[in-house]
Amino acid sequence: MTIKISIDCMGGDHGPSVTIPAAVSFANHEPDAELILVGLESVIAAELNKLGASQHPRISIVNATEMVTMDDPIEVALRRKKDSSMRVAVALIKEGKAQACVSAGNTGALMAVSRYVLKTIPGVDRPAICFPMPNQKDSPTYMLDLGANVDCEPQHLHQFALMGSALVSALEGRDQPTVGLLNIGEEDIKGNEVVKQTAALLRADHEKGILNFYGNVEGNDIFEGTTDIVVCDGFVGNVVLKASEGLGRFLKSIVKSEFKSNPINMLGAIIAQGALKSISQRMNPSRYNGASLLGLRGLVFKSHGGEDAYGYEWAIKRAYDAANHDVLSKISTTIAALMPQDDGASAGEAPVTTPEPTQQKTA
């Protein structure tokens, strides 16, 4: 079956020079993917021509006359740039023409536009950003929220845990993925009132067999792979993410510097070349690129704005896998079954329709 993904080609620090090569590469590697490239048609066509992909049977172009820059305020993206590549790409999900969307654009604008266009799943107060983090077990630790919600109430963190559990269950094939609540200690008495009240909600779910709550976890548990999912508010999550990225660059710089410091160390680097390459690949942040915007009535994935084509292709892959594993339906079902429905506008909206799977086109 064909999975249709819309690509915001103009978003990010590098725009079409990264997004289009990544899209072409992914389409070439994944025969069941159909990519819709959104942006300035002339620019996209020229880039496809450079890559010899002008007539690719599973790549199409949708013109959008505007683009959201990395510096644009949210109100500009929402009110003024109504024909931006970001907005048009997201709208294709609502129109049933795409099953997922990928953008490397302004995070705040992407969240605002996605929430405005798609609305939230009934029972979800706030969408959350979920990102896979590397760990010692060589399987990702999914962490949320990573910046969408700076201030959270217990019910919000509770919702994040449910959405994260549904996501990991669908993507990783785990019936009962473990959920950890990020805290300053493992003991129940540790943490502020929001964390303590959240823990009580998660323990209640655990006792009912709804959620596999491990308990409180600390920062080191993220990289030790203690739990499949780590839940926290967006302020803490974003600090953890940025600190982790900085530490990774710092360690890489030190290793390079030390191996180049004298001839003996340089010889050691040559001898250890295989191991160093393996370590570099395992710790390469590009392999983990692609954050999910969970809680929306559609699958939206955020690529890091500064990623190269290799990293952007990983974000497309995550969007493809999520659509292929019907993550949206599973999250919606989980929330609907376990949580009271909101009385707000989002609960009254009709569900987002996604295109029915079609038979693979042949070239």
- In whole angstroms, give the CA distance from residue 333 to residue 336: 5
Of 272, 289, 306, the last residue of a domain is 289
Number of structural domains (the chain) is: 2
Task: Report in angstroms the alpha-carbon separations of 315 from 100, 138, 301.
Answer: 11, 18, 7
In this structure, the answer to whether residues 197 and 120 fall within a common structural domain is no
Residue at which a domain ends, from 232, 257, 289: 289
Range in 54-58, 325-329, 357-361 the model is least confident about: 357-361
Q: What is the pTM of this model?
A: 0.85
Q: What is the mean pLDDT of the chain?
A: 89
- Specify whether 281 is located in the same domain as 307: no
Task: Quickly tell me which residue has 């590397």 as its tokens.
Answer: 134
> Measured at the alpha carbon of residue 135, what is the angle toward residues 133 and 138, in degrees to the nearest 5?
110
Percent over 70 (pLDDT), the chain:
93
Give the pLDDT confidence score for residue 156 in this predicted structure.
Answer: 96
Would you state the pLDDT for residue 354?
Answer: 43
Residues in Cβ contact with 131 at an 8 Å cutoff, skipping those fewer than 6 apart: 142, 143, 144, 146, 241, 288, 291, 292
Q: For residue 300, list its beta bridge partners.
A: 101
Tens digits of residue pLDDT in 217-232? 999 999 999 999 999 9
Distances (CA, A) of 41 to 9, 46, 65, 82, 107: 10, 9, 8, 17, 24
Position 338 pLDDT exceeds 70:
no
Mean pLDDT of 164-171: 91
The average pLDDT across 294-312 equals 94
Tell me the mean pLDDT in the region 114-121.
95
pLDDT at 54 over 80: yes
Which of 289, 317, 351 is a domain's end point? 289
The closest alpha carbon to 232, from 93, 116, 131, belongs to 131
Helix, strand or coil, per DSSP, at residue 27: helix
Query: Which position has the higher pLDDT, 282 or 34?
Result: 34
Whether residue 101 sits in one domain with residue 249: no
For residue 359, pLDDT over 80 is answered with no
Strand partners, 100: 5, 299
Q: Kindly report the backbone phi and psi dihedral angles of residue 296, in degrees, each rounded to the nearest multiple of 5, phi listed first.
A: -90, 165
Q: Which token pair is 289? A: 């690129």
User: Would you place residue 239 in the very low, low, confident or very high pLDDT band (cuts 50, 70, 90)?
Assistant: very high
Predicted confidence (pLDDT) at residue 211 exceeds the cutoff of 80: yes
Asked if 114 and 207 sit in the same domain, the reply is: no
Q: What is the pLDDT of residue 260?
A: 86
| Whether residues 132 and 274 fall in one domain | yes
For residue 186, give its domain range. Answer: 128-289
Contact predicate 158/206, CB 8 Å:
no
Q: Are 3 and 362 in contact (CB under 8 A)?
A: no
- Residues 223 and 318 occupy one common structural domain: no
Q: Half-sphere exposure of 20 toward its Cβ, with a 13 Å CA cutoff?
A: 27
pLDDT classification of 273: cutoffs 50, 70, 90: confident
Residue 357 is predicted with a pLDDT of: 41
Q: Which of 8-12, 293-297, 355-359 has the lowest mean pLDDT?
A: 355-359
Is the C-alpha dihedral spanning 77, 83, 86, 91 positive or negative? positive
pLDDT on residue 343 = 43
- What is the model's pLDDT at position 339? 53
Q: Range with the lowest mean pLDDT among 13-17, 274-278, 335-339?
A: 335-339
